[in-house]
Structure formats: C-alpha cells, structure tokens
C-alpha cells in the first residue's frame, strides 16, 4: 500500500467515508485529508477514523495530495474539479467515485490541465442508507469496481489505481465511459427507478404494507435510497436511462399482450428468465465480480 503517500477525499459521505476506512483497514500509512461542504459530515468522518484531518479549504487540501478522490454527487462534480484543477501537484492522480461517467469527459476537457491523470471509478457497491454513518471498511470487498480511462489518463496511473482497487479486495473492471453508462443504466439505474415507481403503484392500494411478503420487501428495498442523489444520477444518465426504460416498456407491453391471450409463449419467457437468472446467480459466485 505504498502507491500514494497522501490522499485527499472530497465528499466524506457513504462512498468517500468507506474508501477512507478501507484504505486504513488495508494498511495505508499516509495522511488522509477530508473535505466536505457539510461540516458535520466532515467531523463525523474524522470521528469514525475515515480521515485523519479535516480541511476547510478545498484548494489547500488538494495541494498536498498524491491521490485526489472525488466522491460527490454528479451535480457537484464540475465545481469540485474546477476548483481543484490548479491546485493539483505534478504527477497527482484523480479518481472519482461517481455513478455516471459520460459527462465527465467534457468537464475534464474544460477544466483539467492535460498533465493530470484522471481515472473514472465506480464501485458496484452501496447501501440504501446515506452518509458517513453508513460507511463500511469492507463495502467494496468482493464487488466489481468499474474503472474508466479518459483521454488524459496515462497507463501508469491506470495501473496504480488498479493495484489500489485490488488492495481493497475489490475487482477492477476496465470499461469505456459510454459503455459504463449503458451498463449501469440497465443494471443499477433502471432497477432503482423501477423500485420507486413500484412503491408508488403499490401505495395506491390500501393496507398493502402490512400484508407484504419477503418478495415485495426485497424488490422495493432500494426505494429507501436518497431521492436527491438518485434524481441527480438519473438526470446525468438521462439518455441511457430513457433508453433502458424504453426497452422495459416494450418488453412489458409484449408480455402483457401474451397474458391477455393466455398465450403459452408467456410460459416460455418465464422459463427463459428463470434460467437466465439461475445462470446469473451462478455466474455471480463464480465470476471475478461476484
């Protein structure tokens, strides 16, 4: 864990906090400085040991860091990168932990000096809880961690970040930013959107909550996720999410027609999905990114 001697984490919430805790757990010896616009969150992060030092000045915090981690909602990214850009030291590496990547390319072109290595990062791990209180040192363990290179990303920086991710027991998966946004629109943003819609539809039935079984509880668990954060994510991955929603609507409409006709083709589709799901779950434990 001598990849970087100093780290600055901007945004000490669930993700940033978990990264700090994970670095400590895996033996990172350098200083971890935290910056957050919310003072309370910053203090809690320090109290929990996710950071060593609080900073009230983003530029000063960034100056000292060999690795800058940006763990803020997509809507705050531009402000952070714009403010940090000039303060970054020579050879510093920047890693973000945002759920959307496509829009970052433009931001980098606009605000980041060419000499800075920027690596996009997205851990496929999280919690429906928010804030550093929910941070866990093992949040990333065993989970897939997307890494997206940008035009300015050097190969050496990419290797260092891969090594860092592996040291946290996560599984780095390199993917380009556009493919990333497409994959997560289906895999994460669509299910999240749907969980909110499903709760809305079900809540229109009186007395439903008290009758709920485990299936319903599992299917809507993520609907307790932070609405402001998700609105921000949905907006930043709007194009891909709309496309995923379109695919869902089309499929749903087709299946509904089959149900209307009690068409045996519906059974074939159920069987196919069940089979796919079994393979997915099987793959889930066999694959690197389980």
Enter the tokens of residue 6: 């100093």
Closer by beta carbon to a copy of itself, 33 or else 192: 192
Closer by beta carbon to a copy of itself, 57 or else 287: 287
Closest CA to 18 of 108, 156, 121: 121
Longest Cα–Cα distance of the chain, Å, equals: 67
Closer by beta carbon to a copy of itself, 46 or else 236: 236
Calpha distance 182→8 (Å, rounded): 30
Within 8 A by CB and 6+ apart from 11, the residues are: 35, 36, 70, 71, 72, 76, 80, 97
Closest CA to 186 of 139, 242, 104: 242
Closer by beta carbon to a copy of itself, 56 or else 283: 283
| Strand 31-35 versus strand 171-174 pairing type | unpaired
Closer by beta carbon to a copy of itself, 87 or else 99: 99
Calpha distance 29→5 (Å, rounded): 7
Nearest approach in angstroms of CB 252 to a copy of itself is 5
Nearest approach in angstroms of CB 10 to a copy of itself is 23
């Amino acid at each position: 864990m001598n990849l970087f001697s100093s780290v600055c984490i901007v945004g000490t919430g669930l993700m940033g906090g978990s990264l700090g805790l994970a670095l400590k757990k895996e033996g990172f010896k350098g200083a971890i400085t935290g910056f957050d616009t919310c003072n309370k969150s910053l203090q809690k992060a320090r109290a929990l040991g996710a950071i060593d030092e609080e900073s009230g000045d983003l530029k000063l915090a960034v100056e000292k860091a060999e690795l800058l981690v940006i763990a803020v909602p997509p809507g705050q990214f531009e402000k952070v990168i714009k403010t940090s850009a000039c303060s970054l030291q020579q050879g510093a590496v920047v890693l973000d932990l945002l759920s959307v990547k496509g829009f970052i390319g433009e931001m980098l072109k606009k605000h980041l000096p060419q000499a800075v290595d920027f690596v996009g990062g997205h851990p496929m791990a999280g919690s429906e809880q928010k804030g550093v209180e929910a941070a866990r040192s093992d949040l990333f363990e065993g989970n897939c961690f997307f890494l997206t290179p940008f035009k300015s990303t050097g190969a050496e920086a990419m290797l260092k970040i891969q090594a860092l991710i592996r040291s946290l027991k996560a599984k780095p998966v390199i993917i380009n930013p556009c493919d990333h946004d497409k994959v997560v629109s289906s895999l994460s943003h669509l299910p999240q959107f749907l969980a909110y819609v499903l709760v809305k539809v079900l809540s229109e039935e009186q007395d439903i909550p008290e009758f709920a079984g485990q299936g319903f509880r599992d299917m809507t668990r993520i609907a307790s996720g932070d609405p402001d954060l998700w609105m921000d994510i949905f907006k930043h991955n709007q194009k891909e999410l709309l496309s995923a929603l379109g695919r869902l609507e089309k499929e749903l409409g087709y299946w509904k027609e089959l149900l209307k006709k009690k068409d045996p083709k519906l059974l074939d589709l159920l069987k196919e999905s069940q089979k796919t799901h079994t393979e997915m779950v099987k793959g889930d434990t066999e694959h690197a990114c389980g």
